[in-house]
Structure 1
Amino acid sequence: MDLVVTSLEAWDGVWRRNQHLVAGLLRRDPDLRVLFVEPATDPLHAALGASQPRLGRGLRAGPPLDGIRPEALWLLEPTKWLPRRVDRRVDERWARQVLRTTRSLGMADPVLWVNDPAGSLLVEATQWRSLYDVTDDWTLADRSNAETERVIAQEQVLLARCDEVVVCSPALAASKGALREVTLVPNGVDTAGYLVARERPADLPGGAVAVYVGTLHGDRLDVDLCAATARALQGTGHLVLVGPNALATEQRSRLEATGVVMLGARPSADVPAYLQHADVLVVPHVVTPFTDSLDPIKLYEYQAAGRPVVATPVAGFRDVVDDRVTVAGHETFVAAVVGAVAAVGAFGGVGTEAGRVVDPERAAGADWSRRVDQVAEVLHRLIERGAAE
C-alpha cells in the first residue's frame, strides 16, 4: 500500500503524533510506502520576520529508522513563494506539486491521509481513498477572517468527502461527530523512553526547575502567566521552557526579561531526561475553545515521567484522575507552582529525582503502539470499503 500524508508538522527530531503513527505503520507493514508532505517553507515571510529564509528541500528520502526499510519513507518540503493575498492559486500549485511527486514515485492509487486541511484540494482532485485526522480545531483558532473562512471551507470538503475521519480528543469527537461518524484515536507516549532513569541534562539550570515541554506558541502558551511564574521563582529556581519557539519577538523578550529559560527544541529521545529531572512539570496554557479541542501529548508524557504536575484547567489535565496532577486557575496557578516546588524540596531535595512515581500500567495503556493498532484498523476498513466498491 502507498500512503500520502499531508502533515501540519515537518519530519524532524521533535516527534509528534504524525511521526509516531507513520513510523509505527511502516514497522508493521514492510510493503508500505509513505510520502510525507511537510509544511511549505515561506522565504518571504521569514525574511520579513526574525527567521532565516530558505527554500524548501523538495523531495528526499526519509532518515534511516530502526525497523523500517530504506526508501519506504519519502519526505516532500515544498516552497511557498508568495502569500495567498498575492498569489490566489498558491494552494493549487501546492496540490499539483504533490500530485507530480506521487507520480514520480510510482504511487498510482495511494491512500490519502489529511492532517493539514489544505489536503482538501487533493480530495477534490483525485479519487484516492481518504482519511482526515483532526488533531486541532483550526476553525476555532484566533486567525484573520480570510484564514478562518479558508479553513472552514476546506474542512467542509474533508468532513463531507473523506472515507474516514479520526479525531484525537473527546471534544473533537463531539463537535465533528455531530456532523458525521468519526473514530477517536487519542495521542500517546513512547513508554519505553520513560522507564529508564536518565542523567540530568547539562543545560538545566541549577536549583529548582519548573519545566514545560511543548511548542511555544501564542495559541496555547499563556505568556503573562509564564512571566508571573518566573518572577515568583526568582531566588529559588527557574521556569524552563523546552520546545520549538514560535512566539512573537515581543513575547520572547518579555519572557527573557523575567528570567524564563527557553532552551529551544530538543530531540524527542532527550525529552524524558528533562521531564524526569523537573521538580514540577507545568502547563501554563490559555483556556480557549481552541485549546479545549486538544488532546495534549504532554499529558501522557508528564504522567509517564512520574513528576508532580500543575496545569491550568485545560482539556485533558482538568479531567484526568491522577493525584499527582494539580489543576489551578489563572489566579492560583503561580502559588500552586511555588508550593509544589517547595513540597518536592521538603520531600527529598530540590533538583533530584525525589518522589518520582511511575505507573507503568497507565503509561503502557497510552503507548503509541496502541494508537498505531487503532489507526491500522481504520485504514483496513478504508481499504476493504474501497475494494468492495
Structure 2
Amino acid sequence: MTDLVVVSLEAWDEVWRRNQHLVAGLLRTDASLRVLFVEPPADPTHDLRSGRRPSFARGLREVTDVAPGRLFTVRPVKWLPRRLDARADERLAGAVIRAADSLGMRHPLLWINDPGAVALAERSGWPTLYDITDDWLAADRPESERRRAAANEARLLELAGEVVVCSPELVRRKSATRPVTLIPNGVDAAAYRRAMPRPADLPDGPVALYLGTIHPDRIDVDLCAATARALDTRGTLVLVGPNLLAPEDVARLHDAGARLLGPRPRDAVIGYLQQADVLVVPHVVTEFTDSLDPLKLYEYQAVGRPVVSTPVAGFRDAEDPRITLVSGDAFAAAVAAAVPAASRFPDGADGPVADWSERVAAMAATLHRLEGSRA
C-alpha cells in the first residue's frame, strides 16, 4: 500500500480546490493509496489579535465520502508566532510525523503545497514533491514574510525529488535552477454539463457572476463596485466564494449593489455558473496573478457561458470566442452590455476543456517517479 502525506494551503472542506480534486482522483484510480491531508495549522494567537474566535488543533478525522478508510485529515496548531517561538515550524513538523505514525505510515511520500512546511521535509526525510500553485515571492506581503518565503522555497527546490507547477509562467520562473513538471488545473466536465436548477438565493433578473475566493490579492474591488453600478436596474453582480476582503471593502460592494453570497459546496457551485447570464473575472493584473492558472477558467469554459475578464493569465491565453478581454473603465460597460445579450445554458457548453482525469494521470506519473527515486 502506498502512503501519501499532503501538506495543503487549504482545509479539506466543501469548497473544493486543486488539491482536493487531485487527491480524490488519485484515490479513485489507486485502491492501494492512503492519504493524510494536513490542513493549515490553527493559529489561536493570531485569531485573538484579529478579533476572531480562536481556532485550535483538530485530531485525525476520516473523510468517509471520498475513500472510506483511506483518506484522513489533521490540523496541527501553532501556539505562538515564530518571532516568539523559534521552534514553531519544528513543532508543527513533529505533529504531522506523529499523525502519520498513528496511521502506520512509516515511509510515506510527502507532497508539499505549503512552502512553510520545509521543516517537515528536512526532519522526516520522506521523498518530497513540491507543488507550486502561487508565486508567493510576488505577492504583496511584508518584507519579513517575503524573505522567509524565499528561503523556504529555495530549500524546497533543493530538497524535493519532484517539483510541479500549475502554469506556464511558473515554469518560466521556477525552472532556472532545476527541472519542473507542468500540471495545470482542470474541471469535471461531465458534472458541469449536467443541468442544475437555479439556486434559490440567486437574485431575480439577469446575473453577472464571479466564482472564486474573494481575496485582495486577486479581486479589483473598485472594478467590482463600478460593474455593480453599471448594471443598475439591468442586472446584479453576484460574487460566490470565501470572502477575505476587509469590512470596508465589503461595505463598498454592498453599497454599489453587489451581492456576496459566500462559499458554496463543490456540487452546488455548478448551478450558479449554469444559471448566470455572464461570468466575470474582475481581477487585478499583477506579477502575482500572472503566475496563476485560474481554476475558474476551466469551470467557466465547461458551462459555456459568455465571459468578460480583465487580461489576466489563463483567460488572456485562451483561444475561446466566448471570452472577452477588457481592462480599465471599459470593463463595467462590457459586462452591462453582455448581460441582456446572453443565451441560456446549455448553449455553448460543448467546447473542449481539460478534464481533471488528465491532471490526475499526470500527477500519478510524477508520484511514481518520486517513489522510484526512493530505491
Normalised to the residue count of structure 2, the TM-score between the two structures is 0.97
1:62 offset after TM fit, Å?
Answer: 1.9
Deviations 1:30-59 (A, max 9, x none): 111111000012223223335432212122
Change in Cα spacing, 1:315 to 1:120, as seen in structure 2 (3 Å) is same
**Which residue of 2 is the match for residue 174 of structure 1?**
172
Q: Is the 8 A contact 1:189 1:300 kept in 2?
A: yes
Alignment of 1:296-335 (within 5 A): 296-335=294-333
Change in Cα spacing, 1:45 to 1:259, as seen in structure 2 (3 Å) is farther
**CA distance in 1 between partners of 2:94 and 2:148 (Å):** 19
1:115 offset after TM fit, Å?
Answer: 0.2
Alignment of 1:250-261 (within 5 A): 250-261=248-259
Q: Which amino acid aligns with 1:241?
A: L
1:354 offset after TM fit, Å?
Answer: 6.0
Indicate the SS of the match to 1:234.
Answer: helix
**Which residue of 2 is the match for residue 89 of structure 1?**
87
Change in Cα spacing, 1:58 to 1:355, as seen in structure 2 (3 Å) is closer
Q: Which amino acid aligns with 2:276?
A: A
**Which residue of 1 is the match for residue 232 of structure 2?**
234
**CA distance in 2 between partners of 1:187 and 1:317 (Å):** 13
**CA distance in 1 between partners of 2:331 and 2:40 (Å):** 35
Q: Is the 8 A contact 2:8 2:113 kept in 1?
A: yes
Q: Which amino acid aligns with 2:299?
A: E
Q: Is the 8 A contact 2:128 2:161 kept in 1?
A: yes
Query: Could you tell which deviates more after superposition, 227-236 or 285-294?
Result: 227-236
Deviations 1:290-341 (A, max 9, x none): 0000000000000001100000010000111111000001221111111111
Indicate the SS of the match to 2:237.
Answer: strand
**Which residue of 1 is the match for residue 274 of structure 2?**
276
Indicate the SS of the match to 2:134.
Answer: coil
Matching residue within 352, 358, 361 for 2:349: 358
Q: Is the 8 A contact 1:276 1:356 kept in 2?
A: no
Give % identity.
Answer: 59
Q: Is the 8 A contact 2:193 2:346 kept in 1?
A: no
Matching residue within 354, 359, 362 for 1:371: 359
Change in Cα spacing, 1:258 to 1:63, as seen in structure 2 (3 Å) is farther
**Which residue of 2 is the match for residue 60 of structure 1?**
61
**CA distance in 1 between partners of 2:228 and 2:214 (Å):** 16
Indicate the SS of the match to 1:335.
Answer: helix
Deviations 1:117-165 (A, max 9, x none): 0221112112211101110001110001111111100000111110000
Q: Is the 8 A contact 1:172 1:293 kept in 2?
A: yes
Q: Is the 8 A contact 2:60 2:72 kept in 1?
A: yes
1:177 offset after TM fit, Å?
Answer: 1.2
Q: Which amino acid aligns with 1:335?
A: A
Do structure 1's residue 386 and structure 2's residue 374 form an aligned pair?
A: yes
Q: Is the 8 A contact 2:110 2:126 kept in 1?
A: yes
**CA distance in 1 between partners of 2:85 and 2:225 (Å):** 39
Do structure 1's residue 13 and structure 2's residue 14 form an aligned pair?
A: yes
**Which residue of 1 is the match for residue 38 of structure 2?**
37
1:282 offset after TM fit, Å?
Answer: 0.2
Q: Is the 8 A contact 1:217 1:245 kept in 2?
A: yes
Q: Which amino acid aligns with 2:368?
A: H
**CA distance in 1 between partners of 2:295 and 2:24 (Å):** 17
**CA distance in 2 between partners of 1:102 and 1:248 (Å):** 37
RMSD: 1.3
Q: Is the 8 A contact 1:188 1:371 kept in 2?
A: yes
1:250 offset after TM fit, Å?
Answer: 1.8
Q: Which amino acid aligns with 1:339?
A: A
**CA distance in 2 between partners of 1:355 and 1:340 (Å):** 17
Indicate the SS of the match to 1:269.
Answer: coil
Deviations 1:228-272 (A, max 9, x none): 111111212111000011112222121112111000000010111
Query: Could you tell which deviates more after superposition, 202-211 or 327-336?
Result: 327-336
Change in Cα spacing, 1:121 to 1:354, as seen in structure 2 (3 Å) is closer
Q: Is the 8 A contact 2:239 2:262 kept in 1?
A: yes
**CA distance in 2 between partners of 1:59 and 1:146 (Å):** 33
- Give unpaired runs (5+ residues) of structure 1: none
**CA distance in 1 between partners of 2:26 and 2:221 (Å):** 37
**CA distance in 1 between partners of 2:70 and 2:346 (Å):** 43
Count residues in correspondence.
374
**Which residue of 2 is the match for residue 25 of structure 1?**
26
Indicate the SS of the match to 1:15.
Answer: coil
**Which residue of 1 is the match for residue 140 of structure 2?**
142
Do structure 1's residue 162 and structure 2's residue 150 form an aligned pair?
A: no
Q: Is the 8 A contact 2:97 2:124 kept in 1?
A: no
**CA distance in 1 between partners of 2:254 and 2:84 (Å):** 36
Q: Is the 8 A contact 2:195 2:346 kept in 1?
A: no
- Give unpaired runs (5+ residues) of structure 2: none
Indicate the SS of the match to 2:321.
Answer: coil
**CA distance in 2 between partners of 1:4 and 1:339 (Å):** 48
**CA distance in 2 between partners of 1:341 and 1:81 (Å):** 49
Q: Which amino acid aligns with 1:373?
A: A
Indicate the SS of the match to 2:268.
Answer: helix
